[in-house]
């Protein structure tokens, strides 16, 4: 989509206030923490949060010290999708909102950083979609995740149908999207949607996720990691060139 069009959508979305998306860069570890911050509404996303997220992703593209990124929610839940108060007011703007989120989440997934969604508490609808815009999903043992949009008569709108199909294959993607079932962390792990379930005994899940990322994927220099991720993105785009965007 044209940058000018995205710019116009951005100006409209910014009018729907509430919450924020906050970015913390740590040059020493090379890890960035991206936090969805609307905890009274379970970190569901307002228009302003969509704009914040787009800005954070743009800032991350310029971060030369970066190796990894953890996307999380504030206060024990990841995200319950679109903020329904905002979504109801912006129903006439659904197509534009979807295009804007699609652009942001594609840029997020293709960042030259290894990204992990720390899935805690409720992760529903658009929240489940957001989690698929990361390379990996680490889940709290009590977390639940579900693509529940169809219960509201909606399809996924933030690109998850494409990303889930790439991640799990057609059969599993269709099943998760068309059943709207809500998976426990254990079921998500066995389906291949989650990559690691944090042990119940853990008392600092963010620290555990940082450790998992640093030891498994981010032990090399930032230059090497960023180059490898770019190669993987290029290979993925080439092998999926027949997909609609
Ligand atoms: C883009 C399209 C989409 O994302 S479609 C999917 C939209 N999301 C949903 O349908 C989830 C809606 N929320 C729920 O079903 C429940 O809140 C769930 C997550 C099951 C939690 O239930 P429970 O533990 O009883 O908490 P609760 O309902 O009292 O919620 C606490 C406060 O959070 C709010 N909240 C939660 N999710 C949203 C949301 N998506 N948009 C706006 N507000 C949300 C609730 O309204 C509640 O607020 P309040 O305390 O009543 O002021």
pLDDT in tens, 103-121: 999 999 999 999 999 999 9
pLDDT at 158: 96
Residues in the chain: 245
Sign of the torsion formed by the C-alpha atoms of 173, 34, 38 and 97? negative
Residue-wise pLDDT for 52-102, tens only, equals 999 999 999 999 999 999 999 999 999 999 999 999 999 899 999 999 999
Q: Which atom of ligand 1 is nearest to the CA of 148?
A: 6
pLDDT band at 241 (very low <50, low <70, confident <90, very high): low
Compute how many other C-beta atoms are within 10 angstroms of the C-beta atom of residue 86: 23
Q: What is the mean pLDDT of residues 146-170?
A: 96
Ligand 1 atom 6: the closest Cα is on which residue?
125
Ligand 1 atom 20: the closest Cα is on which residue?
122
Of 43, 48, 82, 84, the one to substitute when testing ligand 1's pocket (max ligand atoms within 8 A of C-beta) is 84
Whether 131 and 77 have beta carbons less than 8 Å apart is answered as: no
User: How far, in Å, is the centroid of ligand 1 from the Cα of 72?
Assistant: 17
User: How far, in Å, is the centroid of ligand 1 from the Cα of 80?
Assistant: 6
Pocket flag, ligand 1, residue 156 (CB < 6 Å): no
């Amino acid at each position: 989509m044209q940058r000018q069009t995205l710019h116009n959508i951005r100006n409209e979305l910014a009018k729907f206030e509430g919450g924020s998306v906050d970015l913390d860069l740590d040059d020493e570890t090379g890890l960035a923490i991206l936090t969805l911050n609307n905890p009274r509404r379970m970190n569901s996303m307002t228009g302003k949060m969509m704009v914040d997220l787009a800005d954070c992703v743009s800032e991350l593209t310029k971060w030369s010290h970066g190796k990894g990124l953890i996307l999380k929610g504030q206060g024990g839940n990841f995200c319950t999708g679109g903020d329904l108060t905002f979504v109801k007011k912006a129903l006439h703007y659904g197509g534009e909102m979807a295009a804007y989120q699609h652009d942001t989440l594609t840029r997020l997934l293709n960042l030259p950083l290894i990204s992990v969604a720390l899935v805690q508490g409720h992760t529903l609808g658009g929240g489940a979609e957001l989690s698929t815009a990361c390379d990996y999903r680490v889940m709290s043992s009590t977390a639940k995740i579900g693509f529940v949009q169809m219960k509201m008569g909606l399809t996924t709108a933030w690109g998850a149908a494409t990303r889930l199909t790439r991640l799990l294959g057609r059969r599993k993607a269709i099943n998760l999207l068309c059943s709207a079932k809500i998976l426990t962390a254990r079921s998500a792990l066995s389906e291949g949607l989650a990559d690691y379930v944090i042990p119940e005994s853990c008392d600092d899940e963010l620290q555990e996720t940082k450790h998992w990322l640093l030891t498994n994927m981010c032990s090399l220099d930032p230059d090497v990691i960023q180059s490898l991720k770019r190669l993987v993105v290029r290979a993925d785009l080439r092998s999926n060139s027949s997909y609609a965007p």
